[in-house]
Amino acid sequence: MTTSEQNKATVLAAFDALFNKRDYEAAEKFWSPDYIQHSAHIAPGRSGLFDLVRSAPAQLRYENHLILAEGDYVIAHGRFAGNGRPVAWIAADVVRMKDGILVEHWDVLEDEATLEESQSKLPMFGDTFPA
């Protein structure tokens, strides 16, 4: 397995541990204690991210659609559903890896559009629109 493939697998395992399983002990092994957070809606550091998830509804789930890696950078295109908002977020998460752990993060978030709202009439995530 190449480093890029390992990084993709690590990011998917990290997101599953934190967002889907709420296993904070396991998640600590994936995120650096010196984690740098660039998201405008998340407090600094690993604790800011973990506290955000702790405060999120129990229904929060992350689903990945596409993941790409180049060297130490991974981009995950996914959906955050059950986030307590009227619609799911579609996200492009950019993660910088170092020595096999997540050390830095940026994201682009957008509310998921319905068929009626979509100018392109194409779904933002996967092959179908949300129910």
Tens digit of each residue's pLDDT (9 = 90 or more) over 106-129: 999 999 999 999 999 999 999 999
- Residue corresponding to tokens 């397995």: 1
Q: Domain 3-80+92-106 adopts which CATH fold?
A: Nuclear Transport Factor 2; Chain: A, (3.10.450)
User: Would you say how long the chain is, in residues?
Assistant: 131
| Both structure tokens of 59 | 């229904």
Domain ranges, ordered by start, for the chain: 3-80+92-106
Residue of 61, 50, 68, 49 whose CA lies nearest to 7: 68
- Mean of pLDDT values over 71-98: 96
H or E element at residue 3: helix 3-15
Q: Distance between CA atoms of 121 and 118, rounded to whole angstroms?
A: 5
**Confidence category of residue 1, pLDDT binned at 50, 70, 90:** low
pLDDT 10s digits, 24-39: 999 999 999 999 999 9
Percent of the chain's residues with pLDDT above 70: 98
Which residues pair with residue 36 across a beta bridge? Answer: 104
Tell me how far apart the terminal alpha carbons of the chain are, to the nearest angstrom: 37
H or E element at residue 4: helix 3-15
Burial class (CB in 10 A: 0-12, 13-18, 19+), 9: middle
Residue of 131, 86, 78 whose CA lies nearest to 109: 78
Q: What is the pLDDT of residue 131?
A: 77
pLDDT at 130 over 90: no
